[in-house]
Each structure stands twice: as C-alpha cells, then as structure tokens.
Structure 1
Amino acid sequence: MDFSFYVPANIKFGRGKADLIGSEVARYGKKAFIVTGKSSAKTGLLERALKQLENEGVEYEVFDKVAENPLTTTVEEGAALIKETGCDCILSMGGGSPLDAAKGMSLLAKNGGDIDDYIFKRAKGEFTSYPIVAVPTTCGTGSESNGTAVLTNPATKAKKGLAYPCLIAKSSIVDPELMETMPKSVLGPVTFDALCHSMESYLSPQANPFTEPYSVDAMLYLAKYMVRANDDIHDQEAIDGVTLASTMVGAAFFVAGLIAPHGMEHPLSGLRNIKHGRGLAALTPTIYEHSISGNPEKYAFVSRILGGKDENDCGMTIRRLLSRIDLEVYLSDEGFTEDDVEWLTDSCMTLSKARLELNPKPLGREEVAEIYMESM
C-alpha cells in the first residue's frame, strides 16, 4: 500500500452559513476581489455579501464577467485588475465557473507569466496564491473543496484543467439554501457532474483508502437524493444531500483524478460551449460500456449503488437514471455532427491523454472516435 492524500479544505457547511461571508473574508484581507457571474446579482447573493463586507470594514472590487466554461482571457483580465486595484484576497461566488476562474486569477496575479504555462505545466517552481473564500451556488463541480480549475482558451477551443494545492480555498462556505436558486436546466447537469466525479474517482486506478470512502459516500447520497432534488428543488433533505455529495467528492477527485468521461467531454464544451453535465450525460454510459473489462468488479459496484444488478447493466442503469432527471442527451442534440468527430478526437488525444490512459481500460484514438460516433 503506497499513497498520499493532501487536501487541506476548510468547509463550513449548513443552511444559513452564507451569513458568515463577511466575517470569513475579513479574516484574510482588507480589500476583496469578488469574482462572480451575473446570476449572483439576480438572486440577491451579491448584495447580501456586499452588506456583510461593509459591516466588517472590508473594501471590495466586483468582477462579474465570468461566463459558463470560463475563458483564459477572462482570467487574464481579472488577474490584471487584482493587481491594479490592490486587492489582497478573493471572494468567489457562483457555480463552478466563477470558482474556477477565481483560482486562475489568483494564481496568475500572484505569480505572473502566462496562464497557459500553468495549465500545460511549463511553469516551474513553487507557487502561491491570494487567499480565497469560496461560496458555491451550484452542487456539481466540487471546486470549493479542491485546487483544480478548468479553463478554455477561446482562440484554440482547448479546454483543460490546472491543479495546485495553493489554490484550495482558505474557507469554503457551503450553504444548501443557495442551491435553491438554480433553474431546473442547471440542476440536472450539475448533479450528474457530481455523480460522475463520484464514479470516476472511485473507478480511477489512483483511488486510495482515503479517497474511496468519499467517492462511495457521495455516490450513495446521490443515488438516494439526486432524483428527489431534481423533482423538487425545495426538498431540503434532498438538496442538502446532493450538496454534501458534491463538496465531499471534490476532495476525492483532487487526489484520485478523473477518467475518460471527463477527458472526452472537455473537447465538447470547449468547441460548442455546451453545459458540461450535458456532455457527460451524452458520453458516460457508452464510455462505461467500452470500459467494463478494465475492472468489472468496480463497475458492478457502481451499478448496484444506482439500482442495477452487475457490471453488464451499468451503462443502462445510468441511462435510466438520466431519464428520471430529464437528461437523456445525445451529441446531436447539442449541435454536434459526424463531421466534428475528427476534431474532437484530435483534441481529446492531445489534451486529455492522461485521463484516457488512467481509465480502467485505457482508450486509444480509434476507440475514442468510435465512442463519439456512438454517442451521436
């Protein structure tokens, strides 16, 4: 037995915890750079946070330009503003996009250089970041409990992650009440993303005795509550359960890694800017059917947790679950055609090769193209 586990996450979980935003930020700085999207103003969260910061005597700058599937150019703009405005800490609020973008901004503002050098591991040395307080408003990415950020280069459409322990939030305020502002079109994809994190981190050959309990518990919570939450976003027990699962498994996959479904999805949302969870829904059942021989015992375990019998019905069991949350998706539904397969395959083999090789059954170029075709 030989493994490591380092995820120093500081999670404050529970209904009403959003009232701690101001006091938590005040612990780490005097002027906060607030990274968010437009929805936090619409839901009232931004105004709520600003009042708390004012009560704590914390100055702030608001950067609300983060869109779905955050761009490297947005990160560069935000990093320049952090330095220009003299902010000394970061408050990220929203879904995975603002939380991921904030990590990229923090890394770039503190250490300088080109963000692509951090993404592609060309930058060398020990890196630091501004202290981050993260407040998620969706229950899917797990970004609040790890140091991972996924960014898209708008010029090349390359979507790829970076991961550094220094980017783990100093404090993550996880308030399930904030999840109840999500539209149904967002809730289904993000909860399936959380389930994919759970399944993939469990199936990963890099899973270890610390990560597996997080992954399995997250799967169990999602199997119990995912459909209920999608049926009624105000079902408090269900929303609390899926929120806990999402946050819990973020720590697991930071160590265990993710496998082929995430590796093959990133070219989809990089090229067409689709919802990440919808791309996963289109691909995951087919990828698993191609991968079962790599570890039939683990695929059988996943299937049984989700209501199936064994490894042979794992893909079909996931499809049944997707139908129950109105997320039966094919790539053609998202605007892809067979003409896109070559580009998607090239991008996947270039940017996601490590995840394809980490898959229980490693996938090569021909099989990747075949899966994209079958998922149309």
Structure 2
Amino acid sequence: MRNWNCFSPRCIAFGEGKASETGAFAAQWGRGRALVVTGPYLLRSGTVEPVLRSLREAGLLGPIYSDIDSEPTDRHVDEALALFRHEGCGTIVACGGGGPIDVAKAVSLLHANGGHIRDYRGVGRVRKPGVPILAIPTTAGSGSEVSGTTIITDTAAHEKLLVISPYLMPEAAILDPELTFGMPPALTAATGVDALTHAIESCVSRKATELTIEFSLRAAGRLARFLPVAFAAPDHAEARGECLLGSLEAGIAFTNSSVGLVHGMARPLGAKFGVPHGVSNAVLLETVMGFSLPGAPERYARLARAMGADADGFSPEAARAGLRLVHDLVRELHIPKLRDLLSREAFEAQLPTMVREAIASGSPDNNPRLASPEEIAALYEAAFSFSEE
C-alpha cells in the first residue's frame, strides 16, 4: 500500500439551513470581524442574506466586497485585500462559486506573505498561513471550499495563475443546499460538469490513492444521476443536495490527488477568451477523456459503472461505456461546442500559447495517458472541430 497524506478543512458542515449558523462558525474558527467576499448577483438577490444576518447577529459582520462578476482576477484580489486591511478584519467569509472563494484565498495569502499572486505560482511556494477563511459555496461545481488551490487571472498577461498550498485550505467549509436553489440551468450545467470532471480526473490521476478513488467514484455516481434532475428542476431539493454533496466529494478527491489534462487545457481558454472555468472543462471533457482511456481502462470502467453505465469487467469496452454516458450527459445539459464560444481565427492565433500554458500548469503530468505538445494541439483542434457525426 502506498504512503499518502490527506488534507481537508478543520470543519465541514453540510445541510439545509447551515448558512444561518455562519456567525457561530466564525466565532469558533475565525479571528474577529469578517470581510465577506461574494458576487453582485448573490448580494442583490438576497442569496447571501442568511450569511450576512448570522454574522451581524454574532457581531462579526465587517465590510462586503461584491465586485466579482467574472472569473477572479488580480484586480479583484488587490481591491479586496485593500478593503480587508483598511477595515482591520481578521477573518474572511467567502460566499459564492469558485471565484469569490479563490479571491478570498488569495487575499489571505497576500495579507500574510506580501507580494503579487504571481510570486506564488505553482506548488508549495507559500511561506506561512494567512487569516482563517470560511468558504460557503453557492454552486455545486468548483470544490474550492475544500481545496488548497486558488486560480487567479493575471490581467496584464491574460494568464491564469495556479497556486497550490495547504495554507490555502479554508478553516471551515459550510455547505447549504438552499443557497443553490434557483440556480439558472446553464450555470447548473457548467458547474456540474466541472464537478464531474473533478471526479473523473481525480479517479484516474497518477496521484490517486485508495481513499481518493472512493470519493471520486461516489461523486461521479451522484452527479451523473442527479445533475440532469437539478438542470431540469432548479428547486428540486434532493437533486440540489446530492449535487452539492457530489461536488464536495469530488473536491476532496482532486485536492488530494490532483486533476489532469482537461483542467490543464481548460485554463488557457478562460484566460485568453473569458470562457467560464466550468464551461472550459465541459467543452473539452469528452475529447480528452477519449484520448486518455487507454491509459487507465480499469479505472475508467469503474467510473462507468459508478455513473450507471451497463459495463461489466475492466475491459476497454467497459471503459468506453462511461465515455458514451458522458457524451449523452453533455448533450442533455446543452453544453455548447468550443467553436460556438470563439472564432476560428482567434483560436488558431492563440493555439501555440494555449499549448504552452496547458503544459506549464503541471496538470497534464498527472493524466493517465501523457500527451506531447503536438497531441495537446491536436486535442484542442479536435474539440474545436467536434461534430455529432
């Protein structure tokens, strides 16, 4: 049996109504008044109100930074950090999708360590822990509430910077399915396929362990079953809860085993063209999964069965049953094609840079089947030219 370590928040709270207990969690795990990091729609719609009310009642509500209306950038980090310091806060409460949670992690990192987020790009370059973070997801997708990673776009370079450190792990993750009710179908689909990609890639990763594989398989099974239900019925309580739990399980899995080639190739699509992270993964998943199958047919076969495919044994054909299921699921969720999101001219102009940045991210090194630069370029092309025929 291999040696391995497992990282997770000190506290994971799950269940309907848990958002209304944020103040109590902040009193237990935080260090004083909290900067709340969220998005403008979540603030306007009242989604975040249970969190704010709970912090207010506990006497811990500080300023609110809610300008994250896109993929998180270094501008968002700088503005939130300035507000955190100006108001003398000691805790960060992040409520939203992966964007607000990633910004919160970057603020915590830079407050303690200084510099620019680019200084910490890569693995293990953060010198000391920052202030406590309480992460409250409002989408079932990123898994950022239980991960030691943050991804921030460098606006000057149009590049996504991946930082990995156990010091980025939130102190507490608070998952309340009620905060995900009413999520628009397109966002449900994109974030849900993001979570499914986490489950699939963490299962077949070269760094997967006995523990993470079990989390991956459970997550893939929940998401394959309940994501179509949540997509069709936005307020279906059971489906929302199961998708959020699947996202959590996938987050724990990839945090401790890493993702692979899909994520490596997805990051440049977001940085160069502004394609949301979940959509970037979704438009690449089927193509890259087909390429990767020969590298781990046994694990792909286990995934196929977990997702409900009729697959016996561990043969390549059993593995392909999972690929067919993913094909059908992506169509059912109305995921766009890559060619619908950017022009052929823009795609070709950025292709060499995207290949370089995909490799530089490090994620492709964990893929079960390694890809050369030429193969990565061919996969981008295959995804762009993908046809149902």
**TM-score, scaled relative to structure 2:** 0.91
Match of 1:132 in 2: 133
Name the CA distance, whole Å, in 2 between partners of 1:45 and 1:320. Answer: 32
> Are the aligned partners of 1:26 and 1:53 in contact in 2 as well (CA < 8 Å)?
no
For each residue in 1:245-277, what CA deviation from the matched residue of structure 2 results, as whole angstroms up to 9, or x when unmatched? 101221111110000001101111111111222
For each residue in 1:180-212, what CA deviation from the matched residue of structure 2 results, as whole angstroms up to 9, or x when unmatched? 131112100001101000000001010001211
1:215-230 superposed matches below 5 A: 215-230=216-231
Residue aligned with 1:256, SS: coil
For each residue in 1:147-196, what CA deviation from the matched residue of structure 2 results, as whole angstroms up to 9, or x when unmatched? 21111111111113212212211121100011113111210000110100
Name the CA distance, whole Å, in 2 between partners of 1:316 and 1:176. Answer: 30
Residue aligned with 2:256, SS: helix
Q: Which amino acid aligns with 2:145?
A: E
Match of 1:323 in 2: 331
1:180-195 superposed matches below 5 A: 180-195=181-196
Residue ranges of structure 2 left out of the alignment (5+ in a row): 312-317, 385-389
Q: 2:59 aligns with which of 52, 57, 60?
A: 57
> Are the aligned partners of 1:285 and 1:314 in contact in 2 as well (CA < 8 Å)?
no
Residue aligned with 1:375, SS: helix
For each residue in 1:315-360, what CA deviation from the matched residue of structure 2 results, as whole angstroms up to 9, or x when unmatched? 3331111111222x22111114255245244234235442222211
For each residue in 1:220-261, what CA deviation from the matched residue of structure 2 results, as whole angstroms up to 9, or x when unmatched? 111221111111122111111110010122111111000000
1:136-155 superposed matches below 5 A: 136-155=137-156
After superposition, the Cα gap between the structure-2 partners of 1:228 and 1:281, relative to the gap in structure 1 and judged at 3 Å, is same
> Are the aligned partners of 2:33 and 2:60 in contact in 1 as well (CA < 8 Å)?
yes
**TM-score, scaled relative to structure 1:** 0.94
Match of 2:109 in 1: 107
Q: Could you tell me how far 1:100 is from its partner in structure 2?
A: 0.8
Q: 1:340 aligns with which of 337, 347, 367?
A: 347
Match of 1:2 in 2: 2
Q: 1:370 aligns with which of 358, 378, 388?
A: 378
Q: Which amino acid aligns with 1:8?
A: S
Match of 1:357 in 2: 365
After superposition, the Cα gap between the structure-2 partners of 1:301 and 1:44, relative to the gap in structure 1 and judged at 3 Å, is same
> Are the aligned partners of 2:218 and 2:306 in contact in 1 as well (CA < 8 Å)?
no
Taking only the aligned residue pairs, the percentage that are identical comes to 31
Match of 1:37 in 2: 39
1:18-97 superposed matches below 5 A: 18-27=19-28, 28-97=30-99
1:180-259 superposed matches below 5 A: 180-259=181-260
> Are the aligned partners of 1:103 and 1:149 in contact in 2 as well (CA < 8 Å)?
yes
Q: Which amino acid aligns with 1:5?
A: N
Residue aligned with 2:48, SS: helix
Name the CA distance, whole Å, in 1 between partners of 2:61 and 2:230. Answer: 37
Q: Which deviates the most, 75-84 or 199-208? A: 75-84
Q: Could you tell me how far 1:52 is from its partner in structure 2?
A: 2.1
Residue ranges of structure 1 left out of the alignment (5+ in a row): none
For each residue in 1:104-138, what CA deviation from the matched residue of structure 2 results, as whole angstroms up to 9, or x when unmatched? 111001111121011245x8563111111111100
> Are the aligned partners of 1:218 and 1:248 in contact in 2 as well (CA < 8 Å)?
yes
Name the CA distance, whole Å, in 2 between partners of 1:330 and 1:272. Answer: 14
Name the CA distance, whole Å, in 2 between partners of 1:40 and 1:296. Answer: 42
Q: Could you tell me how far 1:314 is from its partner in structure 2?
A: 3.9
Q: Which amino acid aligns with 1:35?
A: V
Q: Which amino acid aligns with 1:37?
A: G
Q: Could you tell me how far 1:64 is from its partner in structure 2?
A: 0.9
For each residue in 1:37-88, what CA deviation from the matched residue of structure 2 results, as whole angstroms up to 9, or x when unmatched? 1022122133333332222122401111123210022112222322222111
> Are the aligned partners of 1:34 and 1:61 in contact in 2 as well (CA < 8 Å)?
yes
> Are the aligned partners of 2:269 and 2:354 in contact in 1 as well (CA < 8 Å)?
no
Q: Which deviates the most, 20-29 or 176-185? A: 20-29
Name the CA distance, whole Å, in 2 between partners of 1:124 and 1:331. Answer: 34
> Are the aligned partners of 1:71 and 1:153 in contact in 2 as well (CA < 8 Å)?
yes
Residue aligned with 1:181, SS: coil
Q: Which amino acid aligns with 2:147?
A: N
Q: Which deviates the most, 47-56 or 165-174? A: 47-56
Q: Could you tell me how far 1:30 is from its partner in structure 2?
A: 2.4
> Are the aligned partners of 1:356 and 1:364 in contact in 2 as well (CA < 8 Å)?
no
